[in-house]
Structure 1
């Protein structure tokens, strides 16, 4: 088909309308997307610069998530230290109460005014007592002692009992025989001689510190369990785990928070209490000194964690602002000015209307030829 021949005026107006339509499409696309650079075709330099800025902003956003998780890990450890400190304070209170609790011997006392002469034999002093009679004396948790009674003087009997470990005997001012368990634990006296002397039985009338020892050791267990539970997403700064926090996308800027082992047999150094350990006041004071040292360790670690947390939060705030700066820079390169694009759209629509009128006028020149026929 032969090409349609257009006059110069019509062709000029047609090209103008086509250019205007193309500009209208571009302007409408910018307004609909909000971007003046939608692809590398629009502006290669701005497009790839913006992509680089947005990529880094995305990487830093991911780091912000990691930093927040690190903050939570540090806070979990700090909360664990606070709770452990309370348990340590309870342990000190237990030790102080033990120190303030005097040990009172458990005792058995025979009839008063029964001993008139300590140089007499027991057989002579107490009717019904045979020379072969004996008594057994047992302290709680220990083997029983056997003491022959009948053929000894009362003074010798008292001396022999005093020679036993943890047991005392004496003649009171009321002239009675007194047998005591020095540690305040249960005293059990039996045998034919004990019955005759009227000192037989089981006696729990003393005071000891066993309960404080048990309470203290239980608190040690609770401290260890709490330290083991102070983890966040598998990282326990109180259980010896280290925490590495990256501050940039290339991992060249970071901080390593060293874990500690807040167990009673590790960094806290709070020794387990053996049976009868609290009977000696010097031992109790040594235990209190260990507790004070553990408290200083906890406070030092809390200070270290607080300092590290401050650093992480500062970097977190900086990174958040840097992300905004990067995204803002990318936006400056690619975002469209809606006011400007709106003015362009209005101007192009007016130009399109004028081009239509101009094309109509150009066509009238050829229509005048028809009037010749």
Structure 2
């Protein structure tokens, strides 16, 4: 429907030009206000949806960074635990070596002169480091014959029994713990009788009595205290391993196949890493406590009594150290991988965000220049429209 108003061609052209300028000005002002050249699919469908996909992936990877960061901390907690456990292992080695260097001796000279039975042979039962020994002394045996029987029963390459300078009393000088089964065994050799109320030095399985006043057993109690220190260190190893957790994840207190740390590196979890946990407690390291008895059968030995047992313990400690070094190397390798993927993910997120921004962000410098140009263009358009209307104004002057 016509408005009934007739405009000249030049006037209409100037009006259209002003309308175009106004539209461009509105677009430029919107870009300056939002900072975006593509703010909806209407502006550029390809750029809009491509940028949206890039931003969505960036967001997904950003969500995975928290899991990666937690994984790094869990591995570092495990590695810190291994470092501290190794220090405890070193302390245990020092304790065992101290026990090994502590000499065990049993020394003393019999209070009474030796006198063999005149009616029958006598059997003397005693223990050398918890091992049962039995010596038969013939009736009317001389002190030399008795000493020979005792040393033969002891079965050592070193002479444990001898006689004093008077040639009448038996002397015991052994680099081991020697105890007698009964007071009669001590009396048969002329030694002062001990008591049955005092527990023997090396365990509770053997029915032994304490040394009498003329015998001194040294080193056994010292080794026993060192064994207690060793056991305490094993307890600390287990407790430390169980405390080496982060956010509920502990990689060194359980070697079960279900104890693993799963870290996803991409949004589809097609790229990931499983860090298998290990049992680095005392039991997992195959370190056993030193008890009053050792071996598969109870024999009264233990508490670091035998040098061979201590050396066996040191061998186990060496194996435990090797296990810790291997575990540390494994966790260190896994940590390097996870840290590398963390850095990669951060850089990839930056690339994705930059790519999305390149597709949608406006060049504010360019838009500012466009705004100034459009303002000038609008002013010129208004001036042109004014000039186009001057002919009609001339006619108005004639009518006046």
Q: TM-score, normalised by structure 1?
A: 0.78
Q: Name which of structure 1's ranges 255-264 and 14-23 shifts more when overlaid on structure 2.
A: 14-23
In structure 2, relative to structure 1, the CA distance for the partners of 1:154 and 1:362 (3 Å cut) is farther
**Distance across 2 between alignment mates of 1:214 and 1:261:** 23
**Native 8 Å contact 1:95 1:288 kept in 2:** yes
Aligned to 1:28: 29
Q: What secondary structure does 2:250 align onto? A: coil
Aligned to 1:262: 280
Aligned to 1:220: 234
> Residue 311 of structure 2: which of 277, 285, 310 is its match?
285
Count of residues paired in the alignment: 337
Aligned to 2:384: 358
Indicate whether 1:271 and 2:285 are aligned: no
CA displacement, residues 203-232 of structure 1 (integer Å, 9 cap, x when unaligned)? 876221101211111111111111111111
> Residue 218 of structure 2: which of 201, 206, 213 is its match?
206
Aligned to 1:345: 371
**Native 8 Å contact 1:109 1:199 kept in 2:** no
**Distance across 2 between alignment mates of 1:26 and 1:66:** 43
**Distance across 2 between alignment mates of 1:265 and 1:70:** 26
Indicate whether 1:71 and 2:72 are aligned: yes
**Distance across 2 between alignment mates of 1:270 and 1:44:** 68
**Distance across 2 between alignment mates of 1:121 and 1:26:** 127
Please show how residues 86-105 of structure 1 align to structure 2 within 5 Å: 86-105=87-106
**Distance across 2 between alignment mates of 1:67 and 1:6:** 73
**Distance across 2 between alignment mates of 1:292 and 1:367:** 111
The structure 1 segments of at least 4 consecutive aligned residues displaced by more than 4 Å after TM superposition are 107-111, 152-164, 168-171, 174-187, 196-205
Q: What secondary structure does 1:300 align onto? A: helix
Aligned to 2:323: 297
CA displacement, residues 313-356 of structure 1 (integer Å, 9 cap, x when unaligned)? 22222222211111111111111112221221121011011011
Indicate whether 1:321 and 2:347 are aligned: yes
**Distance across 2 between alignment mates of 1:328 and 1:255:** 28
Question: Which ranges in structure 2 are unaligned for 5 or more consecutive residues?
Answer: 119-125, 131-139, 155-159, 195-211, 293-300
Q: What secondary structure does 2:274 align onto? A: strand
In structure 2, relative to structure 1, the CA distance for the partners of 1:4 and 1:272 (3 Å cut) is farther
Deviation at 1:259, TM superposition (A): 0.9
Aligned to 1:37: 38
**Distance across 1 between alignment mates of 2:4 and 2:72:** 75
Task: Please tell me the root mean square deviation across aligned C-alpha atoms, in Å.
Answer: 3.6
**Distance across 1 between alignment mates of 2:217 and 2:311:** 26
**Distance across 1 between alignment mates of 2:17 and 2:178:** 113
Deviation at 1:36, TM superposition (A): 0.8
In structure 2, relative to structure 1, the CA distance for the partners of 1:13 and 1:288 (3 Å cut) is same
